Amino acid sequence: MASHIILPKEEEAALGVAVEEDHDSPAAPGYQHQQGPPVAKALPFSATCVRISRDSYPNLRALRNASAMSLPDDDAAYAKLEEGDYGYLLDDVPHFTDYLSDLPVSADTPPLPTHPCLALVVPLPDSTPAVKKLQQYFVNADDTVPEKVVVQKDSPRGVHFRRAGPRQRVYFESEDVKACIVTCGGLCPGLNTVIRELVCGLSHMYNVNDIFGIQNGYKGFYSSNYLPMTPKSVNDIHKRGGTVLGTSRGGHDTKKIVDNIQDRGINQVYIIGGDGTQKGAYEIYKEIRRRGLKVAVAGVPKTIDNDIAVIDKSFGFDSAVEEAQRAIDAAHVEASSAENGIGLVKLMGRYSGFIAMYATLASRDVDCCLIPESPFYLEGEGGLFEYIEKRLKENNHMVIVVAEGAGQDLIAKSIAAADQIDASGNKLLLDDYCKNKKMEMTIKYIDPTYMIRAIPSNASDNVYCTLLAHSAIHGAMAGYSFTVGMVNGRHAYIPFHRVTSTRNKVKITDRMWARLLSSTNQPSFLSQKDIDAAREADKLASKSPVPVNTKEHGENAKKPANGEGSSDAVVQEPFGNGPTSPAALAAGAVSNPALTPAAVSMSFYDVNAGEQPSREDEAPEEVVECRCGERSTDGRGEA
């Protein structure tokens, strides 16, 4: 069954209607007989090739954002969507079989004997008890991970990703694998752990001996010698911060990189880095595919800012939040030891304030948290200065946590005001609030920016890095190219364009931000302009359509009059716009000053009848769905 989505040209996408096309029939245009492994038995739902508009793509209209990448027409097959019954939509990752034929595949019987992933020595029949037990280790080909785990009763099943984990079929012989590992961008706790587990996993699970490290980022592909790596050479690197391979920003030359990959015979590339690095990985994959090379590209997303889209969190985030506690504790001690003391802590977060938010929630000593996503104003009723004055009069000290990207509009105003003069011709001073109030303040400023990213990973991140590395290995050996990550507690293979087309940010209308307001008891600092922007964001979110197959099983199946497949689409409204919507609650917080910040924040906990949880909400149970519609609550720790 065909499963490619054909990205339409702009003039063809005007209607944005999903149209089914039968690409499996020998009479269909462009049909090609594919050789290789036997075709799996047809699934009990209709998986069809559909044509959709970019604006009809779910979840923040990722394809519309991805269109800014100016993909050429011959890149249409890079996006693969497979549609099923009851609104099921698989956002699949590319595979060797999409562009290569006559691929050698390992035996259908599972590998034996010392480890389920080792090369098979003696094939055994499927009826053998040992084989049946080992088959439980492998991921079912139909297992997928839902992007949303909390939906309404009549909601479509929604978008799913291919589940990560070991496959019964692999497309590499151990002795033929030549793998390389590269780290790019800024430092992050856990980099060395991922490197170590990639090397040890390839060696111990698949008997791979040719593993090389690329030094100093992307430019190391063509400007330095490759560093041979063995389990012995990486044995204790997880105890150190940074990366043993070195890193750098920039230096990405797709042609030079792929030339060196081809010349050196590399067939597995493991790329560890943030969203910019994953964009580079996507470009490398596209060039590899254009050349028809049998090379798997596996991306492991990395950023302590936790702003990678789709995934629950990025590795290193927990370690960074834990280390940030030390700075906050120090600021609290300093502030409480001085009269009208203010402990000011700046944390990383140029565009997303996740570190500041989670560090504040974990500390319980913070009185105010400022992040880029939540605008605030300084002077006037309800402003930051008034809140600082109030808190100092109450407690004689306070702690403020600021993400580095917070208040950028205020910085621009400060720069403009620096050149202004008063009526007497003197420069306008920007620090006169305390003087006018006749208050003396002592500010203790702490910037742990580089401290929190240069440390070794903690226990939680070590486990997470191990699972990410192993999932990446299993996917590459199975012939996929992807970014790996945890989605709702399960590891999945995610298309490159999904993690690079948008940036994850804190939602100020989300319950997690409301929990922070309740913890710090700070005002929301929302102006009417901010409320209008929040309302507009809610409207956009509620209009995010999910094209789904509306056909049902059995006799109740809906059949169009022309006898062809249905082109109906179900539009899901994940956020409400009623009086209990986040925007309306925020508006009430401003218009009714009698409400305390804690009461306002608690009102955000009211779940709208049409609301779906955001990524920060708790998943009640780890659920893996089979595409046939069965649900399993697998308790195994493996991805």
Q: Could you report the per-residue pLDDT of 551-596, keeping only the tens digit for each?
A: 333 333 344 333 333 333 333 333 334 443 444 444 444 444 444 4
Q: Which amino acid is at 613?
A: P
The arithmetic mean of pLDDT across residues 386-405, rounded, is: 90
pLDDT at site 546: 40
- What is the band of 2 on the pLDDT scale with cuts at 50, 70, 90? very low
**Under CATH, domain 317-453 is a member of which superfamily?**
Phosphofructokinase domain (3.40.50.460)
Is residue 22 part of the annotated active site? The answer reads no
Cβ of 374: how many Cβ atoms within 10 Å?
22
Q: Could you report the per-residue pLDDT of 290-336, keeping only the tens digit for each?
A: 999 999 999 999 988 898 999 999 999 999 999 999 999 999 999 99
Question: What SS3 state is found at 502?
Answer: coil
pLDDT at site 633: 44
- What is the band of 456 on the pLDDT scale with cuts at 50, 70, 90? very high
- What is the band of 386 on the pLDDT scale with cuts at 50, 70, 90? confident
CA separation for the pair 470, 270 (Å, rounded): 11
- What is the three-state SS of 563-618? CCCCCCCECCCCCCCCCCCHHHHHHHHHHCCCCCHHHHHHHCCCCCCCCCCCCCCC
What are the two backbone dihedrals, phi and then psi, of residue 50, each rounded to the nearest 5 degrees? Answer: -125, 155
Q: Which CATH number fits domain 10-314+457-500: 3.40.50.180, 3.40.50.20, 3.40.50.300, 3.40.50.450?
A: 3.40.50.450
Q: Could you report the per-residue pLDDT of 587-634, keeping only the tens digit for each?
A: 444 444 444 444 444 444 445 444 444 444 444 444 555 544 444 444
Catalytic residue among 305, 307, 312, 530: 305
pLDDT at site 538: 56
Q: Could you report the per-residue pLDDT of 213-223, keeping only the tens digit for each?
A: 999 999 999 98
Question: What token pair was written down for 89?
Answer: 């939509």
Give DSSP secondary structure letters for 117-185: TSPPSS---TTSHHHHHHHTTSPPTTEEEES-S---TT---EEEEEEPS--S--S--GGG-EEEEEE-S
Q: Domain coordinates of the chain in residue numbers? A: 10-314+457-500, 317-453, 511-614
> Is 74 among the annotated ligand-binding positions?
no
CA distances to 168, 301, 617 from 107, in Å = 8, 32, 42
pLDDT at 405 over 90: no
Q: Could you report the per-residue pLDDT of 8-46, keeping only the tens digit for each?
A: 344 334 333 333 333 333 333 333 444 444 444 433 333
Question: What SS3 state is found at 437?
Answer: helix
The arithmetic mean of pLDDT across residues 131-135, rounded, is: 65
Q: Could you report the per-residue pLDDT of 472-508, keeping only the tens digit for each?
A: 999 999 999 999 999 999 999 999 989 888 888 888 8
> Is 475 among the annotated ligand-binding positions?
no
- What is the band of 7 on the pLDDT scale with cuts at 50, 70, 90? very low
Question: What token pair was written down for 624?
Answer: 């893996």
Strand residue runs (E) in 348-504: 368-370, 397-403, 442-446, 482-487, 490-494
- Asked whether the domain spanning 317-453 has the same topology as the one spanning 10-314+457-500, the reply is yes
pLDDT at site 153: 83
pLDDT at 65 over 50: no
> Is 405 among the annotated ligand-binding positions?
no
The arithmetic mean of pLDDT across residues 194-214, rounded, is: 95
Look at phi and psi of residue 42 and say left if phi exceeds 0, alpha if psi is from -120 to 50, else beta: beta
CA separation for the pair 486, 471 (Å, rounded): 10
Closest CA to 567 of 23, 53, 154: 53
Q: Could you report the per-residue pLDDT of 315-326, keeping only the tens digit for each?
A: 999 999 999 999
Question: What token pair was written down for 401?
Answer: 């946590």
Q: What is the pTM of this model?
A: 0.72
Of residues 418 and 88, more confidence is placed in 88
Q: Could you report the per-residue pLDDT of 254-283, keeping only the tens digit for each?
A: 999 999 999 999 999 999 999 899 999 999
Nearest 5 degrees, angle CA 561-CA 562-CA 563? 90
> Is 274 among the annotated ligand-binding positions?
yes
Please identify which residue in the block is written with the tokens 């409207």: 539
> Is 349 among the annotated ligand-binding positions?
yes
Average per-residue pLDDT for the chain:
73
The arithmetic mean of pLDDT across residues 38-58, rounded, is: 36
> Is 73 among the annotated ligand-binding positions?
no
- What is the band of 127 on the pLDDT scale with cuts at 50, 70, 90? low
pLDDT at site 511: 86
pLDDT at site 260: 94
- C-beta of residue 520 within 8 angstroms of C-beta of residue 371: no
CA distances to 199, 244, 322, 555, 564 from 459, in Å = 20, 20, 11, 53, 55
pLDDT at site 126: 56
pLDDT at site 537: 66
> Is 431 among the annotated ligand-binding positions?
no
pLDDT at site 440: 79
> Is 329 among the annotated ligand-binding positions?
no
